[in-house]
């Protein structure tokens, strides 16, 4: 084997140089050059081993098993490195490079039949390792040229493996025959040199013991390194986990700051993954994450990509400026948006990407991640088609949001929250039938819009405490209304509150504490909540109505449900959205008529919102709406002002009725 491997080693080296320097493209040159360096090192070590055999061992009574092991190890390492080349760079090969690679691998595999003929398993394994991986991948390719060459490669590998096995067996038989006489002579000398043999065996045992100790030390070091690498990787995606990525980011940040270079950090969030995970199961969800991770890795060098958690990923672009970072992010969004074939399912995802720069935006690694996260959130919130670069304005908004969130946590204790009530009047008598409770927040002397602080409360989890306070406060106020003993109070409830396991208990406590009759309480929900968990929502509504609390559906017709779905919603009151009232002369009337008709069919009352003119009120009364709400009658007002308003209008209601 040692007599034959020199030619094979130089053949591998020449072939490797041709593939790397002769036909490699610029996109993969750096990686291929690294591969060539490793190949050169292995061939150099094998050459040193061969020279050692030629000049030190050949012709002596040496340890043949050790020499065979070294020779086999070198050959298998070379084959594995060739196999790695074909697998790693397969996707980037053009047809010429692929054909050249196949030709070279086939040539090297064919030559191994003579160079490795001294060991039959190695001769076969070398051929299979060289050809089977790339041939299998090519045979499964959609490219017909690749497929044909892949099939031919598989056939050639089988043939050459079988041929090498037979040639090696024949060689071994020949060696055995040639050495039979030598064996007899050695046996005769064995009896003469027993003392020398015993001494030699003792020396070998001592050497083996030393080698074993050294091997154990090396194995401990190897396994320690392997454990550390495993602890740094996310077990599903094989990307860096959170702690390892932060450590890498800190190290890279120090280097770039010292050299006055920039770093771009991409915060990547998948859009639509939760739906896939919930509807198709976690097994498919995990497979999707693995495929997305593979796509991310194609854009990242070494371990510059990591999984932050769930469907969120990070990518580090060292020595990158803002235009480059944006270009990479755009390409990444395009790649992620390409269809996914996962377990016979064709799936589609998009990504929201935020970008932050170091040191332009911050010198702190953790803050860099937060800024990129915030930029990503802004892109997702605005449904932007392009990645979002962090700006000082976003930072200002971030601080304002943090300030509001901190203030909201203390808003109840500081008595900054209060309720206003807007009357809902009977369509005929104009007498107040119910009052809708509307939450207001006076923060540092200014009113904060509910459109701003309600989403903040939902995101931070404060909606549960705030919602419970609103429900309890509204029930207490309504129970004390001497001016409207029969009027109801309508309280808005978000999807997060409604789906909470403790919501029914909160409702029961509010009724028990205030002693408000259950039929005087209306729970008002938006129809969009049925898109999240319809079965769970319906179960909660049944529990609410079982307590004689009425359920009102707000903004009907603008979102998830259709008119025909009133049958399954089983609500007591349907509120017609103000957009239909405003467009009553441009198509809105038809929708209002249909809503009234179906609501009546299912025994539901109707309320029209946003009434601003007498003409709108009169027309809606003609159409058959039961109740009206809007600025025509009253704006939302505090509880004390509500009492005054009722007293001012009480005489007109009595006359009208």
Ramachandran quadrant class, 558 (left: phi over 0; alpha: psi -120 to 50; beta: rest): alpha
Domain boundary assignment for the chain: 2-192, 242-390, 404-656
Q: What does the pLDDT average to over 522-549?
A: 82
Res. 23 pLDDT band, cuts 50 70 90: confident
The reported pLDDT for the residue numbered 215 is 73
Cα atoms in the 13 Å half-sphere on the side-chain side of 73 = 12
Q: Is the pLDDT of residue 297 over 80?
A: yes
CATH entry 3.20.20.450 includes domain 404-656 = yes
The reported pLDDT for the residue numbered 185 is 57
Question: Which two structure tokens, joined as six digits, stand for 468?
Answer: 């419970």
Q: Is the pLDDT of residue 91 over 50?
A: yes
**What kind of fold does domain 242-390 have according to CATH?**
Alpha-Beta Plaits (3.30.70)
Q: What does the pLDDT average to over 102-121?
A: 77
pLDDT in tens, 156-201: 888 877 777 777 777 777 777 766 656 655 676 676 677 677 667 7
Q: What does the pLDDT average to over 43-55?
A: 84
Question: Which two structure tokens, joined as six digits, stand for 415?
Answer: 């008595």
- pTM of the model as a whole: 0.51
Residue 216 neighbours by CB distance under 10 Å: 10
Q: What does the pLDDT average to over 87-116?
A: 81
Q: What does the pLDDT average to over 121-135?
A: 82
Q: What does the pLDDT average to over 502-506?
A: 95
Q: Are 49 and 68 in contact (CB under 8 A)?
A: no
> Of all residues in the chain, what percent carry a pLDDT higher than 70?
89
Q: Is the pLDDT of residue 4 over 80?
A: no
The residue that leads in pLDDT, 231 or 428, is 428
pLDDT in tens, 380-419: 877 888 999 998 887 787 778 888 889 999 998 899 999 9
Three-class secondary structure assignment of 416-450: CEEEEEEEEEECCCCCEEEEEEEEEEEECCEEECH
Question: Which two structure tokens, joined as six digits, stand for 166?
Answer: 């037979």
For the chain, the straight-line distance linking the first and the last C-alpha, in angstroms and rounded, comes to: 113
The reported pLDDT for the residue numbered 437 is 96
DSSP string for 181-193:
HHHHHHHHHHHHT
The reported pLDDT for the residue numbered 291 is 93
pLDDT in tens, 190-239: 766 776 776 677 677 767 777 776 776 676 566 655 555 567 888 899 89
> Mean of the per-residue pLDDT values for the chain?
85
pLDDT in tens, 236-259: 998 999 989 999 999 999 998 888
SS3 content of the chain, % helix, strand, coil (to 5): 65, 15, 20
């Amino acid at each position: 084997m040692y007599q034959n491997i020199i030619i094979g080693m130089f053949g591998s080296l020449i072939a490797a140089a041709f593939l790397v320097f002769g036909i490699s493209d610029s996109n993969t040159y750096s990686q291929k050059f690294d591969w060539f360096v490793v190949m050169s090192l292995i061939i150099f070590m094998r050459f040193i081993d061969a020279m050692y055999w030629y000049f030190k061992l050949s012709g002596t009574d040496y340890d043949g098993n050790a020499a065979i092991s070294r020779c086999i190890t070198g050959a298998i390492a070379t084959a594995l490195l060739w196999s790695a080349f074909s697998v790693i760079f397969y996707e980037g090969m053009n047809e010429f490079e692929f054909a050249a690679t196949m030709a070279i691998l086939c040539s090297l595999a064919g030559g191994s039949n003579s160079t490795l003929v001294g060991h039959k398993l190695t001769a076969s394994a070398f051929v299979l390792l060289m050809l089977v991986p790339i041939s299998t991948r090519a045979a499964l390719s959609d490219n017909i040229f690749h497929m044909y060459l892949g099939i031919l490669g598989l056939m050639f590998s089988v043939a050459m493996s079988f041929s090498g096995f037979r040639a090696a067996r024949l060689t071994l038989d020949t060696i055995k025959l040639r050495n039979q006489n030598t064996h007899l002579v050695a046996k005769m000398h064995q009896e003469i040199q027993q003392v020398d043999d015993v001494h030699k065996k003792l020396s070998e045992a001592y050497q083996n013991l030393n080698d074993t100790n050294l091997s154990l030390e090396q194995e401990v070091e190897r396994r320690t390194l392997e454990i550390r690498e495993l602890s740094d990787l996310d077990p599903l995606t094989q990307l860096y986990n959170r702690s390892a990525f932060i450590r890498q980011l800190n190290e890279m940040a120090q280097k770039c700051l010292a050299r006055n270079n920039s770093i771009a950090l991409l915060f990547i969030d998948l859009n639509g993954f939760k739906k896939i995970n919930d509807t198709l199961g976690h097994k498919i969800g995990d497979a999707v994450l693995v495929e997305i991770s593979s796509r991310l890795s194609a854009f990242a060098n070494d371990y510059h990509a990591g999984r932050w958690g769930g469907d969120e990923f990070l990518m580090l672009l060292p020595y990158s400026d803002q235009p480059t970072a944006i270009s990479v992010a755009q390409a990444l969004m395009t790649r992620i948006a390409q269809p996914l074939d996962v377990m016979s399912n064709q799936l589609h995802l998009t990504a929201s990407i935020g970008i932050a720069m170091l040191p332009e935006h911050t010198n702190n690694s953790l803050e860099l991640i937060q800024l990129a996260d915030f930029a990503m959130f802004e892109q997702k919130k605005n449904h932007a088609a392009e990645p979002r670069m962090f700006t000082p304005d976003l930072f200002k908004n971030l601080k304002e949001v943090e300030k509001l969130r901190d203030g909201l946590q203390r808003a109840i204790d500081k008595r900054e929250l209060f309720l206003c009530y807007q009357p809902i009047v009977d369509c005929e008598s104009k007498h107040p039938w119910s009052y809708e409770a509307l939450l207001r927040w006076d923060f540092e002397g200014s009113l904060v819009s509910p459109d701003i602080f309600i989403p903040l409360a939902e995101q931070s989890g404060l909606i549960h405490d705030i919602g419970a306070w609103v429900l309890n406060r509204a029930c207490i106020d309504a129970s004390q209304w001497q001016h409207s003993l029969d009027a109801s109070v309508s309280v808005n409830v978000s999807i997060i509150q409604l789906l909470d396991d403790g919501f029914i208990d909160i409702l029961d406590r509010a009724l028990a504490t205030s002693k408000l009759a259950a039929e005087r309480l209306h729970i008002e929900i938006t129809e969009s909540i049925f898109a999240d968990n319809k079965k769970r929502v319906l179960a909660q509504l049944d529990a609410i109505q079982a307590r004689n609390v009425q359920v009102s559906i707000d903004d009907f017709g603008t979102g998830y449900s259709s008119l025909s779905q009133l049958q399954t919603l089983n609500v007591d009151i349907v509120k017609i959205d103000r957009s239909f009232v405003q467009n009553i002369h441009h198509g809105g009337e038809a929708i209002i008529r249909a809503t009234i008709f179906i609501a009546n069919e299912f025994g539901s009352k109707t309320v029209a919102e946003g009434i601003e003119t007498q003409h709108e009120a009169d027309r809606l009364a003609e159409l058959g709406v039961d109740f009206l709400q809007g600025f025509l009658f009253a704006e939302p007002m505090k509880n004390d002002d509500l009492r005054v308003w009722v007293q001012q209008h009480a005489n007109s209601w009595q006359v009208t009725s």
